[in-house]
Amino acid sequence: MIKAMSLTASQVADQLRGEIIGDGTIRLTGFGPADSAKSGDLTFAETDEFFAAAEHSQASAILLAGAFAPSKKVLIRVQNARVAMAKALPLFFPQDESQQGIHLSAVIHPTAQVAPTAQIGPHCVVGERARIGARSALMGGNHIGRDCLIGDDVRLFPNVIVYADSQIGSRVTIHAGTVIGSDGYSYVLDAGRHLKVPQVGNVIIGDDVEIGANSAIDRGALGSTIIGQGSKLDNLVHVAHNVVLGRHCIITGQVGFAGSTRLGDYCMVAAQSGIADHLKIGNQVVIGAKSGVMRDIPDGARVLGIPAMPDKQAKRQMIAAQHLPELIRRVRELEQRVRQLQS
């Protein structure tokens, strides 16, 4: 269990640029949902239902937006309660500071450059000419290939593998078991046998990216596979060779991108969707869960289904499909009546 900090309600409000209503000197020692919050906790409310639950909880203060009824608890009023929650949590549960230095079991190539403030954990390998930036942390069991560039304030959780020539920007977090820069899947048929096409490109990951556990970002066949600045990838995501993901995209679990597809900025791709190769997906596109995308998608579109189509059309088809058993029954009855009339 992470040990929480202790702050006054006024200190929290100041950090969140919120308005304090009630006793600002009350001390807050944690943050919890209304159904399990304890005395000393801050909780949050986005709706009337959540506010009622927070009112009846053990929490000492409520983080909220909007004009809710007067409360017996201390209130911190902000513009957006969910955004404020994301900013409040690190106040109570700060990230562990990296223990700078190189573990005795780590292997660092003599030509590698490791910032003095970086942390290189147990059983890590840093290859020739690789560079590790300031305050970056390799938690353990990480392999950094030759000529890799790792920016500042990067966190690589255990067993993240970064193949040669990969570039990772600053403030990037990559969770356990993910592989960056493995070979793309590319073969040609030659005289009845599958001949591998060498993958000689690399991976470039922009600043402020987060990648979940057990994901795979393949290197480009020629050129680069690119993950744009600020994008967030969930666990078990596969990005194939030469894919370009735009800036600030949200990619949820078990999504797969086939080779050379380009995704615009601020897109959202829901779980278990598959994107075919060599497609162009526009900016601010939303792709619903379990969709199969086989064609280009214009800016701002919302699609769903297999094959993916405009989401309203897909939903109409889903509703219509629910009536098929009844329609089949009625058609059979009509066919029977026709046969009776013909006899």
Q: Are residues 62 and 173 in the same domain?
A: no
Q: Are residues 202 and 273 in the same domain?
A: yes
DSSP string of 221-273, one letter each residue: SSSEEEE-TT-EE-TT-EE-TT-EE-TT-EE-TT-EE-TT-EE-TT-EE-TT-
- What is the DSSP code (8-state) at residue 297? B
Enter the tokens of residue 169: 């920007």
Catalytic annotation, pick one of 109, 238, 241, 278:
241
Q: What is the CATH number of the domain that holds 21?
A: 3.40.1390.10
Domain total in the chain: 2
Give me the tens of pLDDT residue by residue for the chain, a chain 343 residues long: 445 578 999 999 999 999 999 999 999 999 999 999 999 999 989 888 989 999 999 999 999 998 776 678 999 999 999 999 999 999 998 887 778 899 999 999 999 999 999 999 999 999 999 999 999 999 999 999 999 999 999 999 999 999 999 999 999 999 999 999 999 999 999 999 999 999 999 999 999 999 999 999 999 999 999 999 999 999 999 999 999 999 999 999 999 999 999 999 999 999 999 999 999 999 999 999 999 999 999 999 999 999 999 999 999 999 999 999 999 999 999 999 998 898 7
Residue 263 counted as domain residue:
yes
Q: Are residues 196 and 74 in the same domain?
A: no
Residue 34 counted as domain residue:
yes
Q: Are residues 109 and 219 in the same domain?
A: yes
Whether 103 is catalytic is no
Q: What is the CATH number of the domain that holds 256?
A: 2.160.10.10
Residue 324 counted as domain residue:
no
Residue 343 counted as domain residue:
no
Q: Is 34 left (phi over 0), alpha (psi -120 to 50) or beta?
A: alpha
Quick check: pTM over 0.75? yes
Domain boundary among 92, 112, 138: 92
Q: Is 222 exposed, middle or buried (0-12, 13-18, 19+ CB in 10 A)?
A: exposed
Q: Are residues 83 and 123 in the same domain?
A: no
Q: Which residue range(s) make up the domain with 171?
A: 101-314
The Cα–Cα gap between 294 and 142 comes to: 36
